[in-house]
A and B are shown apart, each in its own frame.
Chain A
Amino acid sequence: MNLSQDDLATLWLTLQLATTVTAILLIVGTPIAWWLARTRSWWKGVVSAVVALPLVLPPTVLGFYLLLAMGPEGAIGQLTQGLGLGTLPFTFWGLVVASVLYSLPFVVQPIQNAMEALGERPLEAAATLRAGPWDRFFTVVVPMARPGFLTAAVLGFAHTVGEFGLVLMIGGNIPGETRVVSVQIYDHVEALDYAHAHGLAAIMVLFSFLVLLGLYGVQRQKGTFGLTYGKNR
């Protein structure tokens, strides 16, 4: 396989980005999913819609607004500058923030579905066994919704690896900082360097296939929840 030093660097960066984003998504997405699964508030519709927006928006639109918001004049930009962090666009962490927003529905919705499927009964049973709210969440909800978490993590990770438009808008193309695999492939093709493009593209195909194969394998064994893409809800 034909991989340059540069290609390996982009692979490594992509892996770092996707891992970081997935970790943050699970931490941020879980409480959102829990709230959405349990609430009867009028706000549920609004929050669901906002979370699902990245599913329908072109990445360039999301990227455009994020670029403005995280820029020197934007609200997020002002905040990060005030904290002495500089501005986020064209940095690794800028990519992380953008990716978290972009992949949020892919993580929230499977977890939410799994949590809704639990119903009231296990929680009531746990309450009659003296488990308080936090206890119930960690000893009943999380383990019972585990297939949902697994699906969420895989989808969040894969979706982050696969994004392109948003990366270009927010990250640009800075080697070692924001140049991820999808952008690198684009560059290779632009330069008519099909040999290198082939190498990376093949790795992506193989990676995606293996991830999905693994996921379906686990789900088939567990026989619990199907792979629920956000769009099919």
Chain B
Amino acid sequence: MSISDCPSDTIQARFALQRQGDFCLNVDVTVPATGVTAVFGHSGSGKTTFLRCVAGLEKPDDGYLNVKGEVWQGPSRLLPTHRRPLGYVFQEASLFPHLTAKGNLDYAIKRASDVFDVELYDRVLEVMGIDSLLERHPHQLSGGERQRVAIARALLIQPRLLLMDEPLASLDMARKQEILPYLERLHETFDVPVLYVSHSVDEVARLADRTLVFDQGEVVAQGRLADVFSRIDLPLGFGEDAGVVLQGKVVERDSQWHLARVGFEGGELWVRDGGDALGRSVRVRVLARDVSLALACHEDSSILNRLPVTVSEIAADKDEAMAMVRLQSGKEYLIARITQRSRQRLGVEPGRQLWAQIKSVAIVR
């Protein structure tokens, strides 16, 4: 592969690395350099090592890295971390303890790619909501606040690529909920591609546009969330968390019953009205365990959402009693987790037309 055939709007990364013990990383991926790409996998799957290779913090035995047409690593070139125009948010807060929050931001501003931009500064402070924290030292901030300052610092360096290594993993549930909206706004406000390492399906479902799935040091799947999360052949072992993420739009709001109708490529779903305006783009998550199958359309049940689907694939679950079924609905897919017994009884086979009854749908964004 020659260097010139890498378009300027992608990130192309190939790393081979062997570590003591039996860990090795072996990836060769190309992802669009826009939006949020989740680097997803279990702990120990190599996703953090991959991110560190991109940052130059880890030196692969062999590698090639091209970010938007700029070679960061090649056969005869290894750009040290401090020469790479990136921003990095570590898992635990990595603020300099001897500097105030403001001092930490200034550290980035002084070394930023471009001259200081007041407008950017104000916008970063506003989006991260850290205006009132500037005079404090890191030890006077909560975990969530520290992480917000760290994200602001990474943005103020004016990166061409933002790397985030499980920025929420060290926070408790409440803090996570506190920070997630900031991350979503980051995505909406700043035009910088993000590689977001996470092992949390929730975070990925909320934040990512596409995902790379890591397993044992290799990329086993990549693509749109809707495609990857509806695959049942991956060794992801989501178990109870298995489910698809669908991108849709609010097409109707029913004020009497406080429901909203969300249209997506594969049909329509009623969800609890979360206050999203008509026409607003939303992302919904349908868990496999909330999808049941029926041979006919049962009007006589409490279940609100019923979609005509075609069985496209069946796979065994880790649990012997269960089976995973991939269902096509229009252009999109759902997955259902049903018992093997029901599968047999209903005669669920690829190509079979069925009704999917969806017990619950959640708007994740």
A residues near B (Cβ < 8 Å) are: 121-122, 124-133, 135-136, 139-140, 143-144, 146
Contact = CB atoms under 8 A, between A and B. Distances in A.
Contact of A128 (B81, B96, B98, B113): B81
Contact of A144 (B98, B108, B113, B157): B98
A132 B157 CA distance: 14
Contacts of B94: 121-122, 124-125
B88 A125 contact: yes
B87 A128 contact: yes
B14 to A, nearest CB: 22
Nearest to B157: A129
B111 interface: yes
14 contacts: A121-B90, A122-B96, A124-B57, A127-B56, A127-B81, A128-B82, A128-B86, A128-B154, A128-B157, A130-B83, A130-B157, A131-B82, A132-B82, A146-B98
B97 interface: yes
Interface string B58-83: 00000000000000000000001111
Q: Which 10 A-B pairs have the closest CB atoms?
A: A128-B88, A130-B111, A125-B94, A127-B81, A143-B98, A127-B82, A132-B82, A130-B82, A129-B108, A121-B94
A131 B153 CA distance: 13
Contacts, number: 61
Contacts of A143: 98
Given A122-B96, A139-B107, A144-B98, A129 B153 contact: yes
Nearest to A121: B94
A94 to B, nearest CB: 39
Contacts of A129: 82, 107-108, 111, 153, 157
A139 to B, nearest CB: 7
Contacts of A126: 82, 96, 107
A136 B94 CA distance: 14
B52 to A, nearest CB: 9
Interface in B148-203: 153-154, 157, 163
B244 interface: no
Contacts of B83: 130
A218 B96 CA distance: 20
A211 to B, nearest CB: 24
A131 B88 CA distance: 13
Contacts of B87: 128
B111 A131 contact: yes
B53 interface: no
B55 interface: yes
Contact of A124 (B81, B107, B108): B81
Contacts of B98: 143-144, 146
Contacts of B80: 127, 132
Nearest to B57: A124
A130 B56 CA distance: 12
Contacts of A135: 82, 111
A125 B82 contact: no
Nearest to A120: B57
Contacts of B108: 129
A229 B82 CA distance: 36
A75 to B, nearest CB: 40
A59 B64 CA distance: 57
Contacts of A127: 56-57, 80-82
Contacts of B112: 130
Given A124-B57, A127-B80, A129-B111, 13 more contacts: A124-B90, A127-B82, A128-B86, A128-B87, A128-B163, A129-B82, A129-B153, A130-B82, A130-B111, A130-B157, A133-B82, A136-B82, A144-B98
